[in-house]
A and B are shown apart, each in its own frame.
Chain A
Amino acid sequence: MKNWKLSAPFLLLLPSFIVLAAVVIVPLLLSFYSSFTPFRLTKPESFFVFIGLRNYINILSDWNFWVAFGRTVLLLTIALNLEMLLGLGLALLVEKASRGQRILRTIMMFPMMFSPILVGFQFKFMFNDNIGLVNNALQALGITNNAIPWLIDGTLAFIAILTAEIWSSTSVFAILILAGLLAMPREPVEAARVDGCTPWQTFRYVTWPFLMPFAYIAMTIRSLDVARAYDIVKIMTDGGPAGRTELIWTLVARTGYSDARMGVANAMAYFSILLSILFTVYFFRKLAAARTQIGAEW
């Protein structure tokens, strides 16, 4: 009988285990299992047909999937790099401001306060070829007379999405890098100035190494964000025109809900989670290296 007596900590934690299992673990396992079935929402019985790795083999040999995958990686690469440059610039400027720094910091965070759906609608409007702000401005400035088909041409649509993405999330970099700048000890910078550094050299050799960990933290956060990008694209182009702005998750959603091929969609989803994990691991490595570099004690 003694063996049946469960310890108090276990008993106390049990309810949360049960809740977690019900809402996280079971769905996770079920969706993972379904990626090995030809499960269609319209044919519930297909859930019980096991087809092994067939879904995975199909998507890996599906050109459309790879294009969406590649486009996601491209979006991620370009967006992250530009966001970092812009964020760094913003942070450096705000740090220089001797007055009104609080206000500036708050303003800087505005874009983060809007739902991505709204950002999507806003940019969809701005890039509209007829009534959009962008074309209006370009025409008013006499740069072009044509109505540029921003959201209709594949490349331009990609640029439009990129712009929306960067607008809404540069502040992640700006805030984190600014935090780094504010936490940075002043003396090494002064020492560098005395040691003969120009402002650029001071930045290059002293300030930047110190900011790198902060930039990597922002990179990690944002890489996960962009790798699961869905809402802005859904609103602005819905993956169109003709699938030319299709990203992984718009493809997954289309496959799962429009085509009702849930099994395949889940296989895609699990595969692309790999992408996120890879990026996270990569940036965490970089972060750890950068921290050792500056001898950080945190």
Chain B
Amino acid sequence: MATVSLKKLTKRYGPLEIVHGIDLEVADREFIALVGPSGCGKSTTLRMIAGLEEISGGAVEIGGKVVNDLPPRSRNISMVFQSYALYPHMTVRENMGFSLKIAGRSQDEIAKRVDEAAAILDLNHLLERRPSQLSGGQRQRVAMGRAIVRDPDVFLFDEPLSNLDAKLRTQMRTEIKKLHAKVKSTVVYVTHDQVEAMTLSDRIVIMRDGYIEQVGTPDEVFKRPATRFVAGFIGSPPMNLREAIVTDGKLAFPNGTKLPLPRQFRDRVAAGDKVVFGLRPDDAYPTGHGLHSGEETDVHALELPVTVTEPLGNETLVFADFDGADLVARMLNPRPLKSGDKVNMSFDLSQAHLFSAETGRTLRA
């Protein structure tokens, strides 16, 4: 097991810089998720850690040792590829045992380890098949099995679940979580699915355009997003974000709607500041139907017309017109609402976020 650290890690393709000198410390046995929109450089970063992509600048350290010039085989890592990358000409058993065979382990040991891994992943009955005879989910488990038969210092996952259907994905997510609890190793997990990142990881790294926007525990990035981008990226449905101008203790929205300035930001902004106001759907709710009814300290209510509702069974998403555009609210213990109805909407401003409109950074202390 080992720590991983990235020091001013940079990737350039010719004149084009893709990853801009990122710094990151991954602790021993930590499960860290790299999330971000498509093309932000997650895979590139992971592949530089693996040694599959040349490092243009900075350093990757594994276990305190700079590995920039080591080939992948000398880094003691396992990797699960997005496309599984199974060896098509080998059976499942051979695929899983391949790294051990290359490492020169005995037949008996290979068989034993493969069987163990197969048991964990429920692959025993498939061991003699070839990858072409497997379903997507089964291939994915084989890819996983291939990674866990060894005990590498670091596991690297590149969107391992993105090719699976929703149900299988949820199931495999749980499996991965169990697996990590069992093998307890350092994991760097790339995904663009924020739910996966939130549920699996100890800490989340949110990347955008080759920069790291924020690193934090799932709780931190959810409750205290450092930037407007993180606020919009983490959470489903996404946070409501609106531009506003600060005017004497109020937030003025473009079409004239006003909200009181949330207390926690009162001495962080001055009149005339351009800001972005953010409120999660959980913190906007038809009065009496909220998540934390009764405990709020800074609630403000407005009459808003409903545009559309999305019932989800235990809760309903209510889209209401706020200053000329839809605002999403989460209604627990739903009551029937139809579009056009006026609803008394409570805003829990103690949970609100303000970002600088200019830099996108949070205005929180």
Chain A positions near chain B (C-beta within 8 angstroms): 185, 187-188, 190-198, 201, 205-206, 209-210, 293-297
Chain B residues, CB < 8 A from A193: 51-52, 71-73
Partner of A201, one of B72, B78, B102, B130: B102
Partner of B85, one of A191, A205, A297: A191
Q: A188-B88, A190-B52, A294-B89 are in contact. Are A198 and B73 (CB under 8 A)?
A: yes
Q: Are A210 and B81 in contact (CB under 8 A)?
A: no
In the bound complex, CA of A190 to CA of B79 (Å): 10
Shortest C-beta distance, B78 to chain A (Å), equals: 7
Interface centre among B52, B84, B146 (most CB of A within 10 A): B52
In the bound complex, CA of A185 to CA of B88 (Å): 10
* Interchain residue pairs with CB less than 8 A apart (27): A187-B81, A187-B83, A187-B85, A188-B88, A190-B52, A190-B85, A191-B86, A191-B146, A193-B52, A193-B72, A193-B73, A194-B51, A194-B72, A194-B77, A194-B78, A194-B79, A195-B99, A195-B146, A196-B102, A198-B73, A205-B87, A206-B87, A210-B89, A293-B89, A295-B88, A295-B130, A295-B131
Which residues of chain B from 73 to 119 have any CB-CB distance to chain A below 8 Å in the complex? 73, 77-79, 81, 83-89, 98-99, 102-103
Q: Which residue of B lies closest to A293 (CB)?
A: B89
Shortest C-beta distance, B199 to chain A (Å), equals: 26
Chain B residues, CB < 8 A from A198: 73
> How many residues in B have their beta carbons less than 8 Å from beta carbons of A?
26
Partner of B81, one of A191, A206, A294: A191
Q: Are B132 and A295 in contact (CB under 8 A)?
A: yes
Shortest C-beta distance, A208 to chain B (Å), equals: 10
Which residues of chain B from 115 to 168 have any CB-CB distance to chain A below 8 Å in the complex? 130-133, 146
Chain B positions near chain A (C-beta within 8 angstroms): 50-52, 71-73, 77-79, 81, 83-89, 98-99, 102-103, 130-133, 146
Shortest C-beta distance, A276 to chain B (Å), equals: 29
In the bound complex, CA of A294 to CA of B86 (Å): 11
Chain A residues, CB < 8 A from B51: 193-194
Q: A195-B102, A295-B89, A295-B132 are in contact. Are A190 and B81 (CB under 8 A)?
A: yes
In the bound complex, CA of A158 to CA of B314 (Å): 86
Shortest C-beta distance, B158 to chain A (Å), equals: 10
Q: Are B98 and A205 in contact (CB under 8 A)?
A: yes
Chain B residues, CB < 8 A from A192: 87, 98
Q: Which residue of A lies closest to B86 (CB)?
A: A188
Q: Are B73 and A196 in contact (CB under 8 A)?
A: yes
Q: Which residue of B lies closest to A195 (CB)?
A: B99
Q: Are A196 and B103 in contact (CB under 8 A)?
A: yes
Q: Which residue of B lies closest to A198 (CB)?
A: B73
In the bound complex, CA of A192 to CA of B88 (Å): 12
In the bound complex, CA of A197 to CA of B99 (Å): 8
Q: Are B52 and A194 in contact (CB under 8 A)?
A: yes
In the bound complex, CA of A293 to CA of B99 (Å): 19
Shortest C-beta distance, A90 to chain B (Å), equals: 24
Chain A residues, CB < 8 A from B102: 195-197, 201, 205
The 5 closest A-B pairs by CB, nearest first: A187-B85, A295-B132, A195-B99, A191-B85, A295-B88
Q: Are B85 and A188 in contact (CB under 8 A)?
A: yes
Partner of A194, one of B50, B87, B89: B50
In the bound complex, CA of A193 to CA of B72 (Å): 6
Chain B residues, CB < 8 A from A201: 102
Shortest C-beta distance, B160 to chain A (Å), equals: 13
Chain B residues, CB < 8 A from A209: 89
Chain B residues, CB < 8 A from A190: 52, 72, 79, 81, 85
